[in-house]
Amino acid sequence: MDHMQIKDNVFLINTENTSYMFRVDKYGHLEHIHYGGRVLIDDAEALSYKKYIQHGATVLYDKENDHYSTDSLPQEFGTYGVGDFNEASIEIENKDSYTCDFVFDSYEIKDTDIKIKDLPSSYGCDETLIIHLKDKVNMLCLDLYYAVYYKTNTISRRAVLRNTSKLSFTLHKLMSYSLDLFEDNLVLMDLFGAWDKETHINERELNRGTYTIGSRVGFSSAKNNPGFIIRKKGTREDSGKAWGFNLVYSGNHYSSISKNEYGIHRIQGGISFERFHKKLNKGESFETPEAVMTYTDRGLNCLSHNFHDFINNHIVRSDWKHKERPVLINSWEAFGFDFKKDDLIKKLAKNAVKLGIELFVLDDGWFGRRDSDKRGLGDYDCNLKKLPGGLSALSSEIHKMGMLFGVWVEPEAINVDSKLYKKHPEYAISEENRDMYFGRNELLMDLTNPDVRDYIVENVSKLIDDNKVDYIKWDMNRMMNAVSGEYNHEYIKGLYEILDRIFIARPWVLFESCSSGGNRFDLGMLCYSPQIWASDDTDPIERLDIQKGLSYLYPMSTIGAHVSASPHMHTLRSTPLETRYNVSAYGCLGYELDLSMLSPLEKSEIKKQIEHYKKHRKTFQYGRFYRIDDEPDYEAFEVLGPDIIYTKFRRLVHAVPFYDKLYVRGLDDNKIYTIKSKSFIHNIRQFGHLINLVSPVKVNADGMLVGNISKIRGMDASAQLYQASGAALKEGLCLNPLFVSSGYNNYIRIPLDFGSDMYVIKEKEYESGKEK
Ligand code: GLA
């Protein structure tokens, strides 16, 4: 394969559909030439920026050459002090001087993964190019790494600064990558949010100036995910150019995109260097986290596919890599802390198993004196008042029922009201002579202290081993306050060490990471936890935005999504059970509600949902996921795997709705398919007094009679069956009409606010008349 080509002074890195090119110029600087579609190495001159003019007051690098200024030169890694006034990618201080001038020294190509010291990274690359640069004055070496993942069209980048001199330097900034993109008419798409409304798409047209994305809350954060996309104006889901960026890191981060006066966008990303002053003594080095980039000219769906494949193949590890994730029941939205005796828990488990659920997760409240979020964090002893038999008895009971057993923990935090704090107050992060600042009544543990790391590793490992725990939900529920940038980085390295010791050593454990929902949804955590709880908000309408936002950068196999009780705890909105399933099915499905409160009809619907999910689970979790942007009134998702599943989600009903269509992607134009709607039952209560139009006797719609009937009987949604070629499905299959109040028959679809319709599409062997 042609991953890396080097000719004269030009370096070309190829993936299946992309090329990345730079060259060493006559001064030894790395001149960026191209990141986009496939090109030839001999195109370097044609594609490069032409330097035949001096720009006014610019500072010349060489006084004999008035055409060369680093300010207008697209570069691989811009520095300060040699005429480049764009944002520098590295800042080093030595006795008040910030100047550095890194020039080419040598290069190496390796065909094995090269681990980053103390940080997780992707694995299984095809090749890595390492460019060694040296500062012209100080004995500082800068190594730029470019790892290529050919099939997934992804390139990862990172930098290492080595101090080979006898002096000490202060490092203020070292980005993982910098890219001077020579393009115009660009739009930035980032994932913006908050607790309960994570990862909403935020679009900004890139004009002159600097746009930043970042977190200073100590973690990758719900405020701004580290991943983002830059697209050309006009790029849509299935056409146009786009570049994607992400970081394999879970702490404070910073990315900036600045458009300069020459129309070049400098894009750079890495850890946040706010309040960061790292002393780099003789012989020491600093390694950045890894950043990943992808490019496509085939639209945003294709960009997402590159990232999905990259994550499933080169980030996620453990026995759960490529493995179907179990359907779970979680106790949190069912009971919170309030399960006085284990009867409730066991009842939940018994109900769950009857519905086909495969994993029982005991959430918060099982340890110490944890009856509220005010106490108990830091302790690992089971609360025997709540679970008299202890965890191991519960675990074996759950196992006997045929389910896996999972437990919630929050090891990074401590309550002052805990046995641990009484014994080791120094385990908590606090500032001397200052007040303690609490978040959800807790303090964070000092993960830079090796004793704290040992304490967590020992206790969580024992918890898993002694109780045969199959799944861990690892939560972290507060922001990190009043620490330096360096401390934050050391904390995150401490966290990774802990996760390494617990989970890399126990690859069979399914680890789901959580941080008040999606406050830490990032590639660093995904190196340990194959799935992440996306949001505490389980209202499916909110989840549509959250999960759609995530889908741009992360595959469905990584997204925890649960069906909860309606009206929803976080919005008070009521939604149909069918939509709750239809949204959660595009992820790792779970249920999070008190199953004993369900009517027999709801139970039988949930049982059918779980059967449906298991039948198509491979497709839902690992299929090709498409966002459909042809449907203005709907959100529509398609997933194409062993089966094809297409779902339309409605927000609000309109009177006299337009006829609507299915626009199915990725099929064979010449094959014939059958399209079948997934059956489900409408709750008769949603029709209110209209029930009297069909009832033989007049009934009170809010009365007990209708209430009781609705628990056992519903109205079948109209079954729809169509047949069409792949070509017709691409153009848009016209669906049966929606209800308009002038009558009802078997063909009419009933629209509901927040309703949805799921279709299963199968190839049909037309000649034999048999469906495949
Ligand atoms: C956080 C999590 C929830 C739940 C609670 C338990 O808020 O995001 O899913 O586990 O903690 O306290």
Q: Report pLDDT digits (tens) over 701-715.
A: 999 999 999 999 999
Rounded to whole angstroms, how far apart are CA atoms 534 and 515? 9
pTM, entire model: 0.97
Assess whether the C-beta atom of 415 lies below 6 angstroms from ligand 1. Answer: no
Q: Report CA(219)–ligand 1 centroid distance (Å).
A: 17
Nearest in space to 452 (alpha carbons), one of 378, 526, 512: 378
669 is catalytic: no
Amino acid at 560: G
- The pLDDT of residue 178 is above 70: yes
Q: What percent of the chain has pLDDT over 70?
A: 99
Q: Which of 83-92, 94-103, 177-186, 684-693 has the lowest mean pLDDT?
A: 684-693
Residue nearest to atom 1 of ligand 1 (CA): 516
Rounded to whole angstroms, how far apart are CA atoms 520 and 530? 13
- The pLDDT of residue 20 is above 80: yes
- The pLDDT of residue 162 is above 60: yes
Q: Report CA(475)–ligand 1 centroid distance (Å).
A: 7
The single residue listed with the structure tokens 């080791």 is 424
Q: What is the pLDDT of residue 451?
A: 98
Rounded to whole angstroms, how far apart are CA atoms 527 and 509? 14
The single residue listed with the structure tokens 């005991």 is 362
Assess whether the C-beta atom of 475 lies below 6 angstroms from ligand 1. Answer: yes
Residue nearest to atom 11 of ligand 1 (CA): 516
Assess whether the C-beta atom of 537 lies below 6 angstroms from ligand 1. Answer: no
| Ligand 1 atom having least distance to the Cα of 516 | 8
Q: Report CA(516)–ligand 1 centroid distance (Å).
A: 6
Q: What is the pLDDT of residue 630?
A: 86
220-250 in b/e form (b: 16+ CB < 10 A) is: bbbbbbbbbbbbeeebebbebbbbbbbbbbb
What integer best gives the mean pLDDT of the chain?
A: 95
β partners of residue 562: 590
Q: Which of 42-56, 160-174, 354-368, 406-420 has the lowest mean pLDDT?
A: 42-56
- The pLDDT of residue 718 is above 70: yes
Q: What is the pLDDT of residue 1?
A: 66
- The pLDDT of residue 769 is above 60: no
Q: What is the pLDDT of residue 766?
A: 45
- The pLDDT of residue 340 is above 90: no
- The pLDDT of residue 76 is above 80: yes
Question: Cα–chain-centroid distance for residue 20?
Answer: 25
- The pLDDT of residue 404 is above 50: yes
Assess whether the C-beta atom of 514 lies below 6 angstroms from ligand 1. Answer: yes
Assess whether the C-beta atom of 242 lies below 6 angstroms from ligand 1. Answer: no
Assess whether the C-beta atom of 535 lies below 6 angstroms from ligand 1. Answer: no
Q: What is the pLDDT of residue 771?
A: 53
Rounded to whole angstroms, how far apart are CA atoms 66 and 604? 78
Mean of the pLDDT values across residues 139-155? 98
Q: Report CA(214)–ligand 1 centroid distance (Å).
A: 24
| Ligand 1 atom having least distance to the Cα of 515 | 8
Nearest in space to 443 (alpha carbons), one of 427, 432, 459, 419: 427
Assess whether the C-beta atom of 477 lies below 6 angstroms from ligand 1. Answer: yes
Identify the active-site residue in 101, 475, 539, 545: 475
Those residues whose C-beta lies under 8 Å from the C-beta of residue 766, and which sit 6 or more positions away, are 671, 672
pLDDT band at 754 (very low <50, low <70, confident <90, very high): very high
Q: What is the pLDDT of residue 772?
A: 53
Nearest in space to 131 (alpha carbons), one of 230, 20, 281: 20
Residue nearest to atom 12 of ligand 1 (CA): 364
Q: Report CA(370)–ligand 1 centroid distance (Å).
A: 13
Cβ atoms 508, 211 nearer than 8 A? no
Residue of 196, 331, 332 to test ligand 1 pocket, by largest number of atoms within 8 Å of CB: 332
Residue nearest to atom 4 of ligand 1 (CA): 332
pLDDT in tens, 276-314: 999 999 999 999 999 999 999 999 999 999 999 999 999
Cβ atoms 726, 673 nearer than 8 A? yes
Mean of the pLDDT values across residues 264-269? 97
Assess whether the C-beta atom of 408 lies below 6 angstroms from ligand 1. Answer: yes
Nearest in space to 88 (alpha carbons), one of 160, 175, 2: 175
475 is catalytic: yes
Amino acid at 140: L
Q: What is the pLDDT of residue 2?
A: 79
Q: What are phi and psi of 353, to 5 degrees?
A: -65, -35
- Report residue 189 as tokens: 């798409």
- Report residue 738 as tokens: 């929606």
- Report residue 24 as tokens: 């060493």
